[in-house]
Amino acid sequence: MHNTEIAHLFERFAVLLDIDGANPFRVRAYRNAARTIESLSQSLESMIADGADLTELPGIGEDLAQKIADIVASGRFHDLDAIEKRVPGALADLTELPGLGPKRVRSLFKDLGIASLPELSRAAKAGKLQTLPGFGPKIEQAVLQAVDRHISTEKRLMLSTAEDIAAPLIAYLKAMPGVSSAVVAGSFRRRRETVGDLDLLVTCRRGTPVMERFAAYKEVANVLAKGTTRSTVKLRSGLQVDLRVVPEVSHGAALVYFTGSKAHNVAIRMLGVRKGLKINEYGVFKGKQRIAGNTEKEVYAEIDLPFIAPELREDRGEVEAAKAGRLPKLIELDDIRGDLHSHTKATDGHYTIEEMARGAEARGYAYLAISDHTKHVTIAHGLDARTLGKQVAKIDRINAKLKSIRILKSAEVDILADGTLDLPDSILQELDFVVAALHYKFNLDARAQTERLIRAMDNPNVNILAHPTGRLIGEREPCALDMERLMKAALERGCFLEVNAQPERLDLNDIHCRMAKEIGLKVAISTDAHSVDSLDLMRFGIDQARRGWLEADDVINTRSWQDLKRLFQRK
Ligand code: DGT
Ligand code: CA
Ligand code: CA
């Protein structure tokens, strides 16, 4: 068990003791112990294994040392289990709200039976809080606001938003003399579509005052923990950031450890155990001797594995594949030869065809598809057959002048309720290829929705199904679909599914990418750009494709237009 977890158990126990009205000295003893444990540079587990005397640590007496030993041995803190039978654990979370100390939380629980955030929110809305002694309308109002804010900040953050927050913080830390590297590990480095918090790893010379600088960062709202090797802060944006400082010799081992995922780490550690090695955030150890730890590659090499890309570290078969020498050669941004979905001023985009084409050219692409909305999407002023016809003619004229890039004639045609398309075949046949997409009636049952989409692909002009589930992260759930059936139907018809690279879409997602690969269906990774800048969103699509084990060959827009044209010829 990791030090953080043990500290967390003690911290939680202290809060519950406090709510329970225990002796304040006892409460403080557990709090102090938690703080001591969090700032240790060595894991308690290994200290115990080495026979260290824990009572030498500040704030740890005989009693606490024994408890730590029990927790490490059993994985459980029995006193906490016992108190949770009387005092619900969720009450500890309530004390984090402004205005609610242990005393008030105790009264909420004893007098109103409130034991969770939603219950608290309901009671405050019903005006029940102000009836309690020690509460008034002002406190009730403050609690209500805090609850709402708390609930809204508990959400995971989109990867792109996390990037915007991480970049200046990393630059700030790197600018410090003595810091040799500062990187984000955790789910961020594994490129998950959302992150729970940021896990920063700093390598620096001994004694560099990194923690001071970290806590002084202008975006820090409060410092939750501050030690010599580990600190946690909450930023004004609501995002929590964990920072660990590691010595150069442990950099690779720490990177493996804090990149996770937890499940991947467990699998790695087990391989180590089989070879008589101990793997932790400080290195790979044979007995007491560190035999690796500088680089990640070194750490994997000790357990006879090649380097495993962070995107694959989810314990979804990557360790077995690595062992068998069968890791995929993951697709990279450089493999992409063009973008198959973009919009212009003609509908809801912000730039002209020429401006978008120049943007694609500047990114080294060989082609860019213009795929504006069609008439059913009235809010985007979708094109009808006549206006699309004019756009096609215009693209032909522009292409005649362009040398190094080709504009592909396309449209994002709307799929109607019955699965037919909102433009006649006569105009669709004029296009280089057709993208079809859902924009309404997301709430059909899985069977009806799947059949609606298959019906759309029955039209022989359709080549790519855009953002198939229609989800918007944090805003709209994916529609109900039988994805496997949909993919098999696409494969039979010679159609492709899109990985929409918009950070709030990422639709298909990583799991779907993997499913497509297993079924043998290729995908298109497209930005759906509405501006020149958003052509750069391609990399977010690549991230998810990599998490889905895709290689360049699994993605159609890694091909030249000549080859692609052949793929677009439907059977
Ligand atoms: P998140 O923050 O929910 O998006 O997901 P992660 O994967 O970033 O998780 P986080 O921040 O709790 O921890 C970062 C990494 O640290 C995690 O991926 C693996 C490592 N880690 C954290 N706790 C443990 C643990 O108890 N055991 C092991 N083996 N690794 C852990
Ligand atoms: Ca994290
Ligand atoms: Ca974390």
The CATH number of the domain holding residue 300 is 3.30.210.10
Closest CA to 360 of 430, 412, 408, 410: 408
Residue found by looking up tokens 């709430």 in the block: 443
Burial track 352-366 (b if 16+ CB lie within 10 A, e otherwise): ebeebbbbbbebebb
User: Whole-angstrom Cα distance, residue 194 to residue 188?
Assistant: 8
Residue 283 has pLDDT above 90, yes or no: yes
Neighbours of ion ligand 2 (CB under 5 A): 186-187, 197, 199
Same domain, 141 and 166: no
User: Whole-angstrom Cα distance, residue 522 to residue 386?
Assistant: 32
Q: Are 435 and 412 in contact (CB under 8 A)?
A: yes
* 262 C-beta closer than 6 A to ligand 1: yes
Name the residue at shortest CA distance from atom 20 of ligand 1.
Answer: 258
Q: Distance from the CA of 56 to the center of ligand 1, in angstroms? A: 29
* 186 C-beta closer than 6 A to ligand 1: yes
Which residues constitute the domain of residue 276?
A: 250-323
In a domain, 282, yes or no: yes
Question: Which of 89, 124, 152 represents a domain boundary (last residue)?
Answer: 152
Same domain, 132 and 274: no
Closest CA to 486 of 501, 508, 506, 504: 508
Name the residue at shortest CA distance from atom 5 of ligand 1.
Answer: 187
- Region 411-427 average pLDDT: 96
Q: How many domains does the chain have?
A: 4
Q: Distance from the CA of 383 to the center of ligand 1, in angstroms? A: 48
In a domain, 328, yes or no: no
Q: Give the domain CATH number at 550.
A: 3.20.20.140
> 3-state class of 408 per DSSP?
strand
Q: Distance from the CA of 281 to the center of ligand 1, in angstroms? A: 12
Q: Mean pLDDT over all residues of the chain?
A: 93
Q: Are 409 and 370 in contact (CB under 8 A)?
A: yes
Q: Higher pLDDT residue, 301 or 37?
A: 301
Same domain, 372 and 281: no
| Local confidence band at 558 (pLDDT 50, 70, 90 cut-offs) | very high
Same domain, 24 and 95: yes
| Local confidence band at 134 (pLDDT 50, 70, 90 cut-offs) | confident
Distance, C-alpha 286 to centroid of its chain: 35
Report field, pTM of the whole predicted structure over 0.85 = no
pLDDT at 2: 77
Residue 181 has pLDDT above 70, yes or no: yes
User: Whole-angstrom Cα distance, residue 334 to residue 314?
Assistant: 24
Q: Distance from the CA of 232 to the center of ligand 3, in angstroms? A: 9
Least confident of 69-83, 451-465, 536-550: 69-83
